[in-house]
Chains A and B, each alone.
Chain A
């Protein structure tokens, strides 16, 4: 029994280490990109175009992951792209959480007309195809980082609202909420001290998931050229460009794709790992 638990603990630890490690590495690369990236991500050089990654014949030293059709260094572009990906992940993720979780908490705990309004809003929202909705929004607002972030918030707040509402309803029916009410606790106070702490682990997991989703949405929007200006490197933009030369230079597409994949996976695993570790109910 003890042994089995010990084993589970160690595995959770590995998951946290791997996902956290990757995200820290990414954060580090993004913060220091201007100083540690081997090349200027925008520098074009047709003499070094479509260089393969370092282990293949024809590779040039200094261009670790090769170059694209215009001779720009793939590694440097991925590092600079990480800045935009992480900015979007943190800002859009947090803002989406704040708005969605607040509305979900109010709907789930206060019920009544607040719940009716918020729930119908969620229903209406979810009937829109999300990517088309985002593209429409950006078409109206014009491309740019702010538009991308706003689009993610507007599309995805329902993800938090739905789940948090359901959780808040479950918690609201518990006897400890009744006890708090009997003791004279006000509704808002009850929501913040009794309900919120029990919903927080779920909100945390959703937040990390949302950060991953934000990275994907930003990549999709860059892919269709609706994110920020085309010359700033983004993972989605790189994938789009790489797609055109997939047979001649697969690395232009594959490396940003792997980075994207690992990042999104790490965000979701980080959330689950943290929940397993710090949720007092599971611990």
Chain B
């Protein structure tokens, strides 16, 4: 278990229902940025949520291991697991509009985590929050600390959330589609900001997205998912040069090319879908729990 985050044969299922993750394995090294890509429902968000211990109530992990910093989270008691996750990992959520508590001031929301959970002094936590708001280039950070979320724009809120995620210097951040809910113009700034912050702090990043363009800008490696199955695991360079799996190739070809309008839209061919579905079915045949 050399990798910082190492997921081994993780399977999750809706209680008494179908499997959502099919023996997923992936590693994230210290300081690595790994993209998780796939269509809606491929299970990419589920992986992030499983790592952070925030799976929906209806979903349970049925098998596998999640090694975080040398400890298998799934073998810990819930309180101990939560403590470990809180000390090592953080989340940059998808929708900045629902990710900040509307009835509490920004400053408290950033500092409470530091004070209540990590035991910082309030003054030190406030200084740290200001420092980070400056770092993510929030204008007038002192004013923003006193503001309520609704007083800020979506992009500004996402900056606040990024600052909040980095506040306790986590070693791993799960970014769950952090730009999907934003304007295209703001998306680019936020992406650049996440990349800069990641590089400066040396944080490992698990980047969940359906946008291959985003992957090419931010990630070093990626895992392609279909139906809760990792179909390809590769470096970004190799992926964009020559994807190994036919589904990956079709996914890459399906990305619209603005530079070449004549290419048109290329949906993933039915034959490729059938093939990858057969793989998913094959994975379930080996599944001992039926």
Binding site for B on A (CB under 8 A): 111-112, 174-176, 178-186, 189, 193-194, 197-198, 200-201, 279-281
Contacts and interface: CB of A to CB of B under 8 A. Distances in A.
**Most chain A beta-carbon neighbours within 10 Å: one of B83, B87, B90, B117:** B117
Contact of A178 (B82, B86, B93, B117): B93
A184 B87 contact: yes
Interface in B41-85: 49, 52-54, 57, 79, 82-83, 85
A182 B52 contact: yes
B176 to A, nearest CB: 9
B117 A185 contact: yes
Contacts, number: 76
A181 B101 contact: no
Given A193-B112, A280-B150, A281-B150, A179 B99 contact: yes
B128 interface: no
Given A181-B53, A181-B54, A280 B103 contact: yes
Given A175-B98, A178-B93, A183 B113 contact: yes
A174 B99 CA distance: 7
Nearest to A193: B112
Contacts of A201: 103
A187 to B, nearest CB: 9
B104 interface: yes
B232 interface: no
Contacts of B82: 181, 184, 186
A183 B79 CA distance: 12
B188 to A, nearest CB: 22
Nearest to A281: B102
Contacts of A194: 101
A98 to B, nearest CB: 20
B100 A176 contact: yes
A183 B117 contact: yes
A111 B103 contact: no
Contacts of B113: 180, 183-185
Contact of A197 (B57, B79, B101): B101
Given A178-B91, A180-B113, A194-B101, 11 more contacts: A112-B57, A175-B98, A179-B93, A181-B52, A183-B86, A183-B90, A183-B168, A186-B79, A193-B104, A197-B101, A197-B103
Contacts of A181: 52-54, 82
A272 B249 CA distance: 58
21 contacts: A175-B93, A175-B99, A176-B101, A178-B54, A179-B91, A179-B93, A179-B99, A181-B52, A181-B82, A182-B53, A182-B54, A182-B89, A183-B86, A183-B90, A184-B117, A193-B104, A193-B112, A197-B103, A201-B103, A280-B103, A281-B102
B120 interface: no
A178 B50 CA distance: 12
Given A176-B100, A280-B102, A184 B85 contact: yes
Nearest to B91: A182
B29 interface: no
A166 to B, nearest CB: 17
Contacts of A183: 86, 90, 113, 117, 168
B203 to A, nearest CB: 14
B279 interface: no
A198 B102 contact: yes
B124 to A, nearest CB: 17
B94 A182 contact: no
**Most chain B beta-carbon neighbours within 10 Å: one of A183, A185, A279:** A183
Q: Nearest 4 pairs between A and B by C-beta?
A: A184-B86, A175-B99, A175-B93, A197-B103
B86 A176 contact: no
Nearest to B174: A182
Contacts of A174: 98-99, 101
